[in-house]
Amino acid sequence: MKKLNRREFLATSGAAASSALLPAGEAEASGAAPPSYDYAEAVLYDATRCIGCRSCQRACREYNGLAPEAGELNGVRFEMPAQLSEEHWMVLQVYREEPDAAAAEGRDPDWSYLKRNCMHCNVPACVSVCPVGALQKTDTGAVTYDEDRCIGCRYCLFACPYRVPRYEWVDRTPRVRKCNWNRACVRACPVGALTGGARAKLVAEAHERIEERPDRYVDHVYGEHEGGGTSYLILAGVGHDKLALPSISPSVRSSYVDPIMGSLPGWIVGMGLFLGGLYQIERRRRERESMRNGENDGEGPP
Ligand code: SF4
Ligand code: SF4
Ligand code: SF4
């Protein structure tokens, strides 16, 4: 099946009404060279400097008003969610190499922390599939989410090669949830494992660190080129494959999406949008209803 761009996608589905929701002049994900966002604000995470304190995780939760999640390690309780969820937009994961494999080679096992969150891709697959422009790549480098536009189709969840967006499955008015790039984590880091700044400057700095300490780093700035580049960059002492970061060619861009979208018959796409539209109407009806109830609470019975 021919690859659909977003407008063709809408036309195929017969959801012309939804096109009124599209942001004017939005760039298509395919065709043009990927933008660099070199001077937009980026963040460099250096896993070799990270001490695993999780101050970033706490700062993220507090800044965004998210619920804590307790975990337990060797009988001690910590706030330690292992995976991203609707309440955890960033998590700190730990990679440990199998000790026997390392021992067989006569060395200590490799290990590393990994601060995982939205990569804020330069050419985000999530943006390219969103039929109503609820997700946007902005000039600041952030990939933002507008819950008022979202119709709950959840295409973004399947499109993201990093499996980042999460959904409030059990909520009455569900939303997509992910890092919103407020950088509370950077401000909270006590050891300089997180550095904010212009993307070009951070890429150069990352390469300098590798050059100065080749024994400390893998020679790879993850996010410099992956999928057209990202605003969240990762330096580590072990390979990205061990950290479960996907290998994505610089030219891939939305092609993680293409096989999915290309294999969908038009009627399924249309059905998704139709149901999404119904959902949005119902959601707005409920919001109006609760607003009316709220006003009545304050003003007495109508
Ligand atoms: S990591 Fe996923 S959710 Fe974040 S911008 Fe990239 S495609 Fe979108
Ligand atoms: S769930 Fe919302 S944000 Fe995600 S693709 Fe659908 S409309 Fe866009
Ligand atoms: S605050 Fe800094 S040192 Fe602590 S876990 Fe986060 S990135 Fe690592």
What's the rounded mean pLDDT across residues 252-275? 55
Question: Residue 237's closest CA among 47, 75, 107?
Answer: 47
What's the rounded mean pLDDT across residues 230-259? 83
| Predicted TM-score of the model (pTM) | 0.78
Looking at residue 219, its pLDDT comes to: 98
Asked whether residue 28 carries a pLDDT value surpassing 50, the answer given is no
Looking at residue 211, its pLDDT comes to: 98
Q: Is the CB of 152 under 6 A from ligand 2?
A: yes
pLDDT, tens digit, 9 for 90 and up, residues 84-138: 999 999 999 999 988 888 888 888 889 999 999 999 999 999 999 999 999 999 9
CA-closest residue to ligand 2 atom 6: 153
Question: Residue 179's closest CA among 23, 45, 77?
Answer: 45
Percent of the chain with pLDDT over 90: 59
C-alpha of residue 50 to centroid of ligand 3, in Å:
5
C-alpha of residue 117 to centroid of ligand 1, in Å:
9
Looking at residue 85, its pLDDT comes to: 92
Looking at residue 102, its pLDDT comes to: 87
Looking at residue 113, its pLDDT comes to: 97
Lowest mean pLDDT among 111-120, 146-155, 204-213, 288-297: 288-297
Residues 6 or more apart from 167 whose CB is under 8 A from it? 86, 154, 157, 174, 175, 176, 177
Ligand 3: residues with CB < 6 A are 50-56, 92, 115, 188-189, 191, 193-194
If one residue of 43, 49, 53, 116 were mutated to test the ligand 3 pocket, choosing by the most ligand atoms within 8 A of its CB, it would be 53
Asked whether residue 49 carries a pLDDT value surpassing 60, the answer given is yes
Looking at residue 32, its pLDDT comes to: 59
74/67: higher pLDDT: 67
Asked whether residue 58 carries a pLDDT value surpassing 70, the answer given is yes
C-alpha of residue 150 to centroid of ligand 2, in Å:
5
Asked whether residue 1 carries a pLDDT value surpassing 80, the answer given is no
Residues 6 or more apart from 222 whose CB is under 8 A from it? 233, 234, 235, 236, 240, 245
d(CA 192, CA 198): 16
Looking at residue 15, its pLDDT comes to: 37
If one residue of 118, 128, 130 were mutated to test the ligand 2 pocket, choosing by the most ligand atoms within 8 A of its CB, it would be 130
Q: Which atom of ligand 1 is nearest to the CA of 125?
A: 7
Domain boundaries, the chain: 6-262
| SS3 state of residue 143 | strand
What's the rounded mean pLDDT across residues 177-185? 95
Q: Does domain 6-262 have CATH number 3.30.70.560?
A: no
Closest ligand to the CA of 165 = 1
Instruction: Supply the DSSP string of 250-284, one letter for each residue.
Output: TT-GGGGTHHHHHHS-HHHHHHHHHHHHHHHHHHH
Average pLDDT, the chain: 80
280/206: higher pLDDT: 206
d(CA 157, CA 59): 25
d(CA 222, CA 218): 10
Q: Which atom of ligand 1 is nearest to the CA of 118?
A: 4
Asked whether residue 53 carries a pLDDT value surpassing 60, the answer given is yes
Relative orientation angle of helices 266-299 and 6-13, to the nearest 10 degrees: 90
Looking at residue 9, its pLDDT comes to: 39
C-alpha of residue 164 to centroid of ligand 1, in Å:
6
d(CA 155, CA 159): 6
Residues 6 or more apart from 269 whose CB is under 8 A from it? 4, 9, 12, 13, 261
Looking at residue 2, its pLDDT comes to: 38
